[in-house]
């Protein structure tokens, strides 16, 4: 999967073809026999080559997921296996999604087993965030299973309402684990949604403080576009709690290279012209081979424009998204995004065309 930002036309083509090969998958499962590619091509108005490619692609991905399931059941490294298949030194967005989705629930399990060591590290996060002064809204980008988010929000509960707390993750399965974990710990009313770091469905300057906790970590090679997107959404401060390749020892650097982790986040931020006001290694990390640093970026006042009360926007067309309960809907783009068990699914690929939704449902 390409990591670079796509054009609106490319996004639309991906959206169209996604529906086509979804239909193929259903047909393959239903009939268990080859599809008449020429017939489908005529109906869809595309070439037979594309149809054949999509059919092979679906079968290949099914085999890959079966193999991933086997590797996970044996305690293997999923993301390393997928990186080898793609013959890349970096982790693709799709590989990251598959890896973390299969692991859903494992982080909460580890947290519950020994929460004290996690609290010791997250206490440092809380101190750094409190030092930034008052703020109205906050978001964890790449919330995972909510273990860090729960502890931070609990410790900020006297200064901020849960209704102004946001969190997203690329994996719906992990986000569902997070939602249940937060509810069990009396953290309710926050806004959780499915999204990815390089295409956040929020408007410019919509969140006072945006922070990450090892979520940029596996995205080696995509440092620049991810920082640009996080900075765009941030209104006041962008705070990164991420592994620091430059400040790690030789053993730590070797491990990060083997896992395809990010490098030089502070340097990339400075090259983008961002005001990095702090960069230091934290005193304690859960894994000494994966040392965590804090990078605090203060957004330039000249970059800030006023955002309205509804922070959500369509990740494809950048138009307003309205929360209609069962879906998020963009009246300008006629695109719908499903809400599954209370979690809005706002990835580009999850859009559904609904030209008449506003008439038939909204009246």
Closest CA to 219 of 11, 14, 3, 34: 3
The number of residues making up the chain comes to 363
Question: Tell me, what's the pLDDT at 303?
Answer: 59
* DSSP state string for 20-62: HHHHHHHHHHHH-S---HHHHHHHHTS-HHHHHHHHHHHHHHH
Average pLDDT, the chain: 84
Question: Tell me, what's the pLDDT at 134?
Answer: 85
Does residue 280 sit in helix, strand or coil?
strand
Closest CA to 280 of 250, 252, 239, 232: 239
**Is the distance from CB of 134 to CB of 159 less than 8 angstroms?**
yes
Question: Tell me, what's the pLDDT at 306?
Answer: 57
Does residue 226 sit in helix, strand or coil?
helix
> Beta-strand (E) ranges in the chain?
138-141, 165-169, 191-194, 207-213, 234-243, 275-281, 292-298, 322-323, 327-330, 335-340, 343-344, 352-353
Burial (CB count within 10 angstroms: exposed 0-12, middle 13-18, buried 19+), residue 64: middle
**Is the distance from CB of 277 to CB of 266 less than 8 angstroms?**
no
Residues sharing a CB contact under 8 Å with residue 80, sequence separation 6 or more, in sequence order: 258, 259
Which stretches of the chain score pLDDT less than 70?
1-63, 302-308, 359-363
Structure tokens given for 253:
């650097």
Dist CA 351 CA 359 (whole Å): 19
Question: Tell me, what's the pLDDT at 328?
Answer: 96
pLDDT digits (tens, 9 = 90+) for 42-82: 444 444 444 444 454 555 565 677 778 888 888 888 788 77
pLDDT digits (tens, 9 = 90+) for 90-102: 888 888 888 899 8
Does residue 251 sit in helix, strand or coil?
helix
Question: Tell me, what's the pLDDT at 77?
Answer: 81
Question: Tell me, what's the pLDDT at 1?
Answer: 37
Question: Tell me, what's the pLDDT at 99?
Answer: 87
Long-range contacts of 267-271 (CB under 8 A, 24+ apart): 268/223, 268/224, 268/227, 269/227, 269/295, 269/297
**In the block, which residue shows the tokens 């995509």?**
222
């Amino acid at each position: 999967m390409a990591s670079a930002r796509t054009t609106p036309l490319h996004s639309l083509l991906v959206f169209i073809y996604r529906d086509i090969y979804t239909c193929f998958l259903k047909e393959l499962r239903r009939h268990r026999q080859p599809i008449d590619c020429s017939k489908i091509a005529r109906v869809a108005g595309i070439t037979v080559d594309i149809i054949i490619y999509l059919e092979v692609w679906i079968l290949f991905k099914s085999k890959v997921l079966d193999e991933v399931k086997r590797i996970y059941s044996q305690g293997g490294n999923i993301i390393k296996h997928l990186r080898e298949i793609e013959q890349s030194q970096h982790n693709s967005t799709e590989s990251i999604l598959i890896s973390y989705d299969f692991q859903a629930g494992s982080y909460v399990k580890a947290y519950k087993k020994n929460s004290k060591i996690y609290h010791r590290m997250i206490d440092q996060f809380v101190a750094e965030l409190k030092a930034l002064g008052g703020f109205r809204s906050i978001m964890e980008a790449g919330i995972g299973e909510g273990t860090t988010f729960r502890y931070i929000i609990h410790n900020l509960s006297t200064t901020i309402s849960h209704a102004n707390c946001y969190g997203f993750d690329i994996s719906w399965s992990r986000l569902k684990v997070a939602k249940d974990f937060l509810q069990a710990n009396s953290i309710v009313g926050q806004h959780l949604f499915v999204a990815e770091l390089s295409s956040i469905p929020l408007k410019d300057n919509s969140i006072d403080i945006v922070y990450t906790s090892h979520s940029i970590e596996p995205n080696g090679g995509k440092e620049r576009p991810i920082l640009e997107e996080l900075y765009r959404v941030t209104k006041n401060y962008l705070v990164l709690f991420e592994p620091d390749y430059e400040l790690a020892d030789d053993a730590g650097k070797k491990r990060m290279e083997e896992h395809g982790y990010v490098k030089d986040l502070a340097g990339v931020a400075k090259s983008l012209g961002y005001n990095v006001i702090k960069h230091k290694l934290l005193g304690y990390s859960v894994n000494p081979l994966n040392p965590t640093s804090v990078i605090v970026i203060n957004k330039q006042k000249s970059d800030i424009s006023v955002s309205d009360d509804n922070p959500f926007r369509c990740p494809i067309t950048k138009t307003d998204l309205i929360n209609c309960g069962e879906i998020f809907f963009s009246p300008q783009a006629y695109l719908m995004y499903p809400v599954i068990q209370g979690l809005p699914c706002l990835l580009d690929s999850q859009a559904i065309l609904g030209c008449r939704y506003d008439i038939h449902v909204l009246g």
